[in-house]
Structure 1
Amino acid sequence: MDAERAALIAKRKEISRSKSSVHDELHNFRSWLRWMCVDQSTGWTFCLSWLVFIIFTFVIPLLSHFYLACSNCDNRHARPYDSHVQLSLSTIATLSFVCLSQFVRIYGLRRFLFFDKLCDESETVRRGYTEQFNSSLKILFIFVAPCFTAEAAYKIWWYSSGATAIPFLINAAVSDALACTFELASWLYRTVVFFLVCILFRLICLLQILRLQDFAQVFHVDSDVESVLKEHLRIRRHLRIISHRYRVFILWVLILVTVSQFTSLLDTTRSRADLSIFKTGELALASVSLLTGVMILLRSATRITHKAQGVTCLAAKWHVCATIESFDPPDADTETPPTGANGNQVFQRDASLSDNDDVGSEDELDITKLIPAYAYSTLSFQKRQALGLQCSL
């Protein structure tokens, strides 16, 4: 009876953690999404989100390109590559906004960010993931702020130097100020939406990296093979979920960015191209923004792949060390163990390896100089082999 009651209490705790609340871990993040008008939790915010998206992604860039461009100004204020900039940012923002809307609508924010699964993780993983989540928005603005500062300086110079005057308002200064503000808001909105999806992918990958690091500790203690295999299967399942959710987004990002950079390269390297910092500055900023987002995606995917390979190498090394040691068990009648035998270490460190060797490029899970401390495995060869093969798949 007590066991059933304890199981019921644990289940209630798990459900209460998964349930959304205004004071949960995502409260500040939800507020930020509402402020950015990308929250679609209610019908009103859904309509507002799509309205803001259409205005900042399509309406303002079209007005800027066809009605605000200076057609009779001097050579420095001409914008021959404005179509490349507007089309690149709008297409990538459309892809990011649609994918983000689908993620939140289908899975929900907590489930999409795996916060509903944190109750099953260790305290180390929960604390590390929460810290990474709290710093994710700071990382987002670290990437966006430099490019936005340069874009704002260019737009302010372009409007303040008298490049254009909007005819439908009486005061030209007010017209230019409003147009400059709307253009900067459109640029910031499209860039932030794209970086937001990239940062969320990085955050989810960091969670799996923390789980892999925590999972690697089982090879240093006497663990039950069944529980270890279940945990590894659960990690693999989450990796497949991440791949399934993000593969379309990553594929289309690579296609769109490649096409954008290729067309920009062809347009700027033609023989009649007139290049200057005033004309190609916006194009360079857009290219830097898009390529930075691609690098975030690729680096996150590479890190999680590298960490999984490190766990595979650690499992193989653990299996080899335990197997070799099983053929030469310590003599129970020997009062003094032979030199080099250690109950907590399979092999002594190789004397040919110098302490000054460079190991900075090696993963902490796969350092060849270090031997696992787990020496005398009580597991059978078949169980160790099954665990090693499972980790290598």
Structure 2
Amino acid sequence: MADNRSAAAAAVGPLLLPRKKSSSAAQYTRSASHAGDELRSFRACLRWMCIDHTDGPRSAGSWAVFFLLAVAAPAAVTLALPASAPPRPLDGQVQVSLTLAATLAFLSLCSLLRVGLRRLLCIDRLRHDSDEVRAGYTAQLNRSFRVLACFLAPCSLADAAYKVYWYWIAAPFRSPWWNAAACALETASWVYRTAVFFMICVLFRVICYLQVLRMVGFAREFGRFADVAVVLEHHRRIRDQLRRISHRYRRFIIFCLVLVTASQFSALLATTRPHARINIATAGELALCSVSLVAGLLVCLHSAAKITHKTQAITSVAAAWHADATIHAFDNDLEDPDPALPTATGYLAPANAYRVAPGEESDGYGDDDDDDTRSEDSIDESKLVPFQVNNMCFQKRQALVNYLENNRAGITVYGFVVDRTWLHALFMIEFSLVMWLLGKTVGIS
């Protein structure tokens, strides 16, 4: 049975990389996935994290595991601790912050996965892109789990060490087995909630990286496009994809920003209040929680700002392309009236003004006998003088530059573009609130 599945998967082929001796993009129009494609690691990771909503029983199991590890486990351990146990004044704040973050991430993943993992990762749109973009996206898909491990492993190991230290020193239960069970249950709950939160952040990072690859390839091959209409269509396709990504993730980004801000201000208020006992036993877990939440938020904001910056930078590339084409057009008019250059309708080198379209050979001015049958209102670019052709080409390029200047694409959150200016304003607001809170607690003015 396993051999048959592997053979079938091999026959279907990968989703991203093209098969050998096949340059057609038609193979990327397939919408069905299979067990041997590049998404098998994502599917396995989601199943191991118990986030699988492909059918009713698996969805019910995912909700049961979430309720057990994200809600019931921390609440049960907190309520089971005896009154003689050393106090943990900041534990309630830590548990509430992590549970709310995991709930937000879990609900967002449930909503996003309804469209399917293939559509969520924008793989169905790769048929319009080059082989370099597909290869780069495949490498990024494989690298995404290392990124997830880089965030999850240090936080989980640090929290496990903290839990072992606390239960070893405090020993709230008389039986060491109860202490070990409570420590293991709290550690599993922490790892699960942190993994769910980091998972959606890494998914957003991977999706944004695909758009970065598209924009880099678009800018690199900008001058090679044969027509301004091709450039315009390519940019509109990327802009539409960014709008769809923004619509899917805008609620998660805004709620994550509010949640992380509220948790950090609550932690700051709790640690700077008078007579607060701050040491590794009381505030160590709070520090780990704050680092985890802030790291996930920064991953999302950095990815969104990066793709927005790359998308908006295409305007300068178009302006440079427009200036270069205009300058070379006049230089070629003066130096060589008939240069042997390839025909390009969009880049519009002046060679087009002197070249006759294939199948319409004439003496250069097109005064054949059948010219009278043509419409007087139609425009035949092969019969225009160089100035007229260059003027039309200039207007096309200028219209494209104006369009790019007035239609800046990027990741948006309810109409606000997540760029560097937005991040600077957000930082100043957060910094002002921090200074105001410190002024109320420790007297900083």
Q: Classify the TM-score, shorter chain.
A: 0.7 to 0.9
State the Cα distance separating 1:12 from its structure 2 match: 6.5
Q: Is the 8 A contact 2:25 2:127 kept in 1?
A: no
Give matches, 1:114-263, under 5 Å.
114-165=122-173, 172-263=175-266
1:354 alignment partner in structure 2? none
- Unpaired segments of 5 or more residues in structure 1? 1-8, 167-171, 335-345, 347-376
1:273 aligned counterpart, secondary structure: coil
1:137 aligned counterpart, secondary structure: helix
**Which of 396, 401, 409 is the matching residue for 1:383?**
396
**Which of 101, 113, 117 is the matching residue for 1:92?**
101
Task: Report the residue type matching 1:265 in the other structure.
Answer: L
Q: Within 2, Cα distance between the matches of 1:63 and 1:89?
A: 15
Q: Within 2, Cα distance between the matches of 1:213 and 1:333?
A: 34
Q: Within 2, Cα distance between the matches of 1:108 and 1:322?
A: 44
Q: Within 2, Cα distance between the matches of 1:14 and 1:131?
A: 18
State the Cα distance separating 1:48 from its structure 2 match: 0.7
State the Cα distance separating 1:84 from its structure 2 match: 0.7
1:37 alignment partner in structure 2? 50
Please tell me whether residue 56 in structure 1 is matched to residue 64 in structure 2.
no
1:380 aligned counterpart, secondary structure: helix
State the Cα distance separating 1:11 from its structure 2 match: 8.4
State the Cα distance separating 1:381 from its structure 2 match: 1.0
Please tell me whether residue 71 in structure 1 is matched to residue 83 in structure 2.
yes
1:109 alignment partner in structure 2? 117
| Fraction of identical pairs, as percent | 47
2:368 alignment partner in structure 1? none
Q: Is the 8 A contact 1:218 1:228 kept in 2?
A: no
Q: Within 2, Cα distance between the matches of 1:85 and 1:294?
A: 17
Q: Within 2, Cα distance between the matches of 1:333 and 1:24?
A: 54
Give matches, 1:289-368, under 5 Å.
289-332=292-335
State the Cα distance separating 1:191 from its structure 2 match: 0.4
1:264 alignment partner in structure 2? 267
1:14 alignment partner in structure 2? 28
Task: Report the residue type matching 2:162 in the other structure.
Answer: Y
Q: Within 1, Cα distance between the matches of 2:336 and 2:243?
A: 51
Q: Within 2, Cα distance between the matches of 1:278 and 1:378?
A: 75
Aligned length: 335
- Unpaired segments of 5 or more residues in structure 2? 1-22, 338-348, 350-389, 408-445
CA 48–378 in structure 1, closer or farther in 2 if over 3 Å, else same: farther
Q: Within 1, Cα distance between the matches of 2:222 and 2:147?
A: 34
Q: Within 2, Cα distance between the matches of 1:378 and 1:10?
A: 36
Q: Is the 8 A contact 2:225 2:231 kept in 1?
A: no
RMSD: 2.3
Q: Within 1, Cα distance between the matches of 2:336 and 2:65?
A: 80
Q: Is the 8 A contact 2:52 2:62 kept in 1?
A: yes
Q: Within 1, Cα distance between the matches of 2:137 and 2:196?
A: 22
Q: Within 1, Cα distance between the matches of 2:296 and 2:225?
A: 42
2:53 aligned counterpart, secondary structure: coil
Q: Is the 8 A contact 1:165 1:175 kept in 2?
A: yes
1:271 aligned counterpart, secondary structure: coil
CA 47–284 in structure 1, closer or farther in 2 if over 3 Å, else same: same
Q: Within 2, Cα distance between the matches of 1:11 and 1:309?
A: 28
TM-score (norm 2): 0.71
2:313 aligned counterpart, secondary structure: helix
State the Cα distance separating 1:321 from its structure 2 match: 2.6
TM-score (norm 1): 0.80
Q: Within 1, Cα distance between the matches of 2:227 and 2:392?
A: 9
1:81 alignment partner in structure 2? 90
Please tell me whether residue 28 in structure 1 is matched to residue 41 in structure 2.
yes
Deviates more, 1:86-95 or 1:270-279: 270-279
Deviates more, 1:182-191 or 1:381-390: 381-390
Task: Report the residue type matching 1:19 in the other structure.
Answer: A
